[in-house]
Amino acid sequence: MSSGSLLSRWCAAVAVLCAFGVAVLTAPETALVLGPALLLLLVLVVGVFPGEEALARARDRRWRARRVRAPGRAPRPALPDVARPSGISRAFALAMRPPPAVALAR
């Protein structure tokens, strides 16, 4: 890398920082909105690519052979014994009012 390109990168970085400083002084809300984008621009202008090594390590880890494990047997779940109402008891449970025959018997 030549010193000219390094100097131009640092000048660009200083320009980005100055632009952010002006944004902070003139309108803080604008600086809050533009802050993450200007920070990313600053990082990329300087030439630092965050996470490059981490991505390479993850790729190498993914391509390594993994030991295959046999699937384990899960025990059969014990289901609760539930007696649901059926027939006339279900009708009484779902009725908003009792059937007319029961109302007349009272």
Residue range 55-104, pLDDT digits in tens: 788 778 766 666 777 777 888 888 887 777 677 777 777 777 766 676 55
Q: Rounded to 5, what percent of the chain is helix, strand, coil?
A: 65, 0, 35
Q: What's the sign of the alpha-carbon dihedral 51, 53, 59, 62? A: negative
Whether the pLDDT of residue 14 is over 70: the answer is yes
Q: Which two tokens stand for residue 74?
A: 């899960």
pLDDT attached to residue 34? 82
Whether the pLDDT of residue 4 is over 70: the answer is no
Cα separation, 4 vs 44, in Å, equals 17
Whole-model pTM: value is 0.37
Cα separation, 90 vs 99, in Å, equals 12
| In the block, residue with structure tokens 């320009």 | 15
